[in-house]
Amino acid sequence: MIGRLTGVLLEKNPPQVLLDVSGVGYEVEVPMSTFYNLPANGERVTLHTQFIVREDAQLLYGFATERERATFRQLLKVNGIGAKSALGILSGLSVDDLAQAITLQEPGLLTRIPGIGKKTAERLLLELKDKLGAAIATTSGGAATPNPGHDTLNALLALGYNEREALSAVKQLPPDLSVSEGIRQALKTLAKG
């Protein structure tokens, strides 16, 4: 299996890139999150890869981070999700946003992605509920650390605010706030709006 490639970026044709590794050109499909962070043509780049062999093709997918690749692998385990759909999901949502949608069991975030309908979104939420968080924690180097912003968001949702309002208020908060102070400031922001 090809697990990582380091080479010179020759071409960028979304969602595919051509990477020259010691004279061999690898066509690698990447999610848009990775694509937008690629350097200019002619620069060196490292991609974490997933090699998939099918009856009719051998495909190579590349990711900027280990977390993206681990999430891609988890998505492939979901019934009815193929490599193209998994790539589309990672192009439409960051790994953190996907994990948040799964934690909150919010299919609305997933159905915004082209090709993901309500039933597929619900299947993703159900099958990844316990798996995705564990995969992200192991690839980020240990146990998941508590996220005060996430706790604040959950508290606002429990108080009856809709997802859009709660996310908007939480994004305006400084990252170093405690949960109680975050809730207090978020409620002030929501009261003004």
Same domain, residue pair 105 and 124: yes
Angstrom distances, CA of residue 150 to CA of 53, 75, 101, 108, 121: 38, 22, 11, 18, 21
Same domain, residue pair 19 and 35: yes
CB 72 within 8 A of CB 61: yes
Instruction: Tell me how many domains the chain contains.
Output: 3
d(CA 89, CA 93): 6
Report which residue type is found at 135: A
Same domain, residue pair 132 and 152: no
pLDDT tens by residue, 48-93:
999 999 899 999 999 999 999 999 999 999 988 999 999 999 998 8
Same domain, residue pair 12 and 45: yes
> Which comes out higher in pLDDT, residue 55 or 172?
55
Q: Which residues contact 187 (CB under 8 A, 6 or more apart)?
A: 156, 169
Same domain, residue pair 157 and 119: no
- Among 131-140, 160-169, 175-184, whose mean pLDDT is lowest? 131-140
- pLDDT of 132: 66
- pLDDT of 168: 82
Same domain, residue pair 10 and 75: no
d(CA 156, CA 108): 18
Same domain, residue pair 24 and 73: no
Same domain, residue pair 116 and 105: yes
d(CA 81, CA 85): 6
CA-based nearest residue to 60, from 11, 91, 69: 69
Which residues sit opposite 53 in a β-bridge?
Answer: 58
- pTM for the model stands at 0.68
CB 130 within 8 A of CB 160: no
Q: Among residues of the chain, what percentage have pLDDT more than 70?
A: 90
The rounded mean pLDDT for the chain is 85
Domain that holds residue 153: 148-192
Task: Tell me the residue length of the chain.
Answer: 193
For residue 23, give the CATH number of its domain: 2.40.50.140
d(CA 83, CA 94): 16
Same domain, residue pair 85 and 23: no
pLDDT tens by residue, 136-162:
444 444 434 455 667 787 777 777 787
Same domain, residue pair 75 and 91: yes
